[in-house]
Structure formats: C-alpha cells, structure tokens
Amino acid sequence: MKKILLMTWFNNNNFGTLLQATAMQNILKSMGTDEEGYECNILNYIPSPKKAKKSIKYYFNPKKYYLKTIQIYSKFYAKKYDNQIELQNSTFKKYINENLLISPENVMKSENDLIKINNDYDIYLCGSDQIWNPKSLDYNYLLGWVSDSKIKASYGSSLSSTPVPEYYYEMYNKYLNRFKHISIRDKKCKSQLEEITGRKIETVADPVILWGRDKLLDFAGDNFENINDYCFAYILGPSIKLRNKFLQYCKQKNLKPISVVGVSKENLMYDKKIVEYADWETDPKKFVNYIKNSKFVITDSFHSVVVSILLHKDFCVFEKDKNHKEQNNRILELLDTVGLMDRWRSCDEQVNETKISREKWIEVDEKIELLRKSSMEYLYKIFE
C-alpha cells in the first residue's frame, strides 16, 4: 500500500475548497490497482497566522484606514449572527470528520512540525485551490520541507491568475525545481511560471471537474428535502447590487429564493438583504443538491459554476469584484474552454436567463471529457 500525503486547503469552511479536497482525495484513493493500492491522507496543516511586514507607505495610505473602518464595522455587524455562524462552523466540522481522511499526526503549524513527517509517505502532492497565490503565499505549500528523495508533485495548484512578484522568483524556482511534475489550474500564469522555473508547466482541470458528473451525483446522494421551484444563489463578492438582482429575478419568475452565505464575517454586511433566505446548515453535499434541484443558479463563485456545468443546470455568473479582476480569470477561462461565455455578466448587466439547449450541453460534455482525459493522463504520470 503506497501512502500519499495531499497538502491542500480544507479548514477554511468554504464549499469550493472542501469540494475540491474531497474530489482530489477520492480520485487519488481510486487510482490504485488490485496489486498496488493507494492510501491518501490530507495533511493536517493549519499554520499559525503571520503578520506581514508593512512599508512606511502603508501607514500613509488613506485607503488603508477606510478599509480598516469597513472591516471593523462589518465584524461588529456580524455579531448579531454569532449563533448562525456557530451552527455553520459545526456543520463544516461534522462534514470534515465524516468525509475526509486527515493525517493522523497532531495539527502541523510550522515547518519544524512538518519536517517530522518527512519520511512517513511515499508521494507528497500539493493542490488544488489557491495555495500558491503570491498574495498570501505560505512557502510550505511549495514542499521545501520534503526530502528530495521523495516524489513531489502538484495537481492544479492555483496562483489565482495573479502575476508572481519578482521578489518571489527565487523561492518558486528553488522549490518547484525539486518537483517531479508541476501542474497549475491557471492558464494565465503558465508562461510566467515556466519562465521562472525553466520547466514545462501543465494546466489541468479542477479536481471537481476531474471527478466528473457521476461521482458528484453519487457523492451528493438522494437524501434531500424536495423544495419546489426555487432559484439558488451563492454570492461571495462585495456587491449589494448583485444580491438585489437575485431577489428581483426570483420575484419576476415567481421562484423561492434560497441562498448560502460565505464564511467571511465581513461578507454578512453585504448579505443583509438575502441572509433571511440562507440555510446555515449547508455542507458541501447539500450545496451540490441545492444546485442540482434548483430552477436557476445565480452566482459569482467558481465552484458553483463547475457544479452547475457538470449537472447541466441553467446559470448566470457575475464578476466577483470589479476592483480585483484577477478573481474572475479562472471562471472566464473555464467558460471559454467549454463554450459558455454567454453565461458571464458584469455587475451592471442583467441576468442571462436563456435556457441552455440540449445540443449545447452535448458540446459542453464533449469538451469537459477532453479536459478530464488530459488531466487524468497527467495525474497518472506522477505514479509511473
């Protein structure tokens, strides 16, 4: 039995994060043969918060104080939802305990902790999700703490389509050149990372796409309360306008509004008009079922789009934050790849309520299958 250690995010109470972690772990466990099986644990790594160094300019930036004021107010505003947030946290915790195999070691919080398990596994794999995002980089996700005698690789480790600053070049180059194989999820970062490392970088599908429709449906199960004629929303960005569009659409189409809210307390300030329609006891399985059984989906979330596409659900996706365009890139790349760019809208545009035809879904499925095939071929190379 070969042992795989998967290093990814799993503990930030995010539906997409937990879906990709669940999918990746299950895919890896299923890759073994009768002669050689694979055991896969997700690394129990919850790093201690680090205070970033701030330049003098930081303290003289008026925008900083405005954002700090908003942050303080939003946390104060969220206090009224403490009970609901606690319910949401316990729902996610229960899901993790029942659905993910977490490494049996104590919680790892530092590089010194990680070095202690340097020789406990055969393959060390990092990804997916935004674990290589240079805006919040923890270099331990580059596996520098793993011995070079071990197989190290990445699957779909995302940089969030953010250019890597030059002061990180040496670090990315040093650690990634010790990998057997490197793949990322962001096409826009491929050429820059190849230039930094001098290596061929492959782009692969998100693990939920790799898992596929049938596995996703098996995962979700049938234990779901039947709710008639509703529109489902999952909105993460700071747009009150988009939340209003959701409610207006529901009223126009005579659909019941149902939503799940993001896990950031800061978001609740923007969610105040839709929070009464939120289900705080939603876990990733219920999240998939809400999309599966809805009449329509309105979102700005990448994984909401992924699930909608796999389950052939009519949807409209809006830009998350017009001030941070890079947050939209992974959605745009996916829509372009599968030929559904017409589902994209800016925050100032109206909902695209056009139904996606059966013929169009056939085309989309064919493109998804090609994406899955090439991504599985990459994954198998790691185990050769």
pLDDT of 321 reads: 76
Task: Give the Cα separation of 179 and 123 in Å (integer).
Answer: 11
Asked whether 104 and 41 are in contact (CB, 8 A), the reply is yes
pLDDT of 49 reads: 62
The pTM (predicted TM-score) of the whole model is: 0.92
Structural domains in the chain plus CATH codes: 2-50+94-210+371-382 (3.40.50.2000), 213-369 (3.40.50)
Measured CA to CA in angstroms, residue 26 lies from 10, 40, 98, 100, 255 at distances of: 14, 8, 13, 9, 35
- Which are the contacts of 162, defined by CB distance < 8 A and separation ≥ 6? 133, 134, 135, 189, 326
Asked whether 291 and 314 are in contact (CB, 8 A), the reply is no
Residue type, 306: V
Task: Give the Cα separation of 87 and 221 in Å (integer).
Answer: 22
Q: pLDDT 10s per residue in the chain (384 long)?
A: 889 999 999 988 899 999 999 999 999 999 876 567 789 999 999 987 654 444 555 455 666 665 667 666 667 667 888 999 999 999 999 999 999 999 988 899 999 999 999 889 999 999 888 899 988 889 999 999 999 999 999 999 988 767 888 999 999 999 999 999 999 998 888 999 999 999 999 999 999 999 999 999 999 998 888 888 999 999 999 899 999 999 999 999 999 999 998 767 778 888 989 999 999 999 999 999 999 999 999 999 999 999 999 999 999 999 987 766 677 889 999 999 999 999 999 988 999 999 999 999 999 999 999 999 999 999 999 988
pLDDT of 50 reads: 58
pLDDT of 159 reads: 87
pLDDT of 338 reads: 97
The residue whose two tokens read 């890759």 is 31
Residue type, 285: K
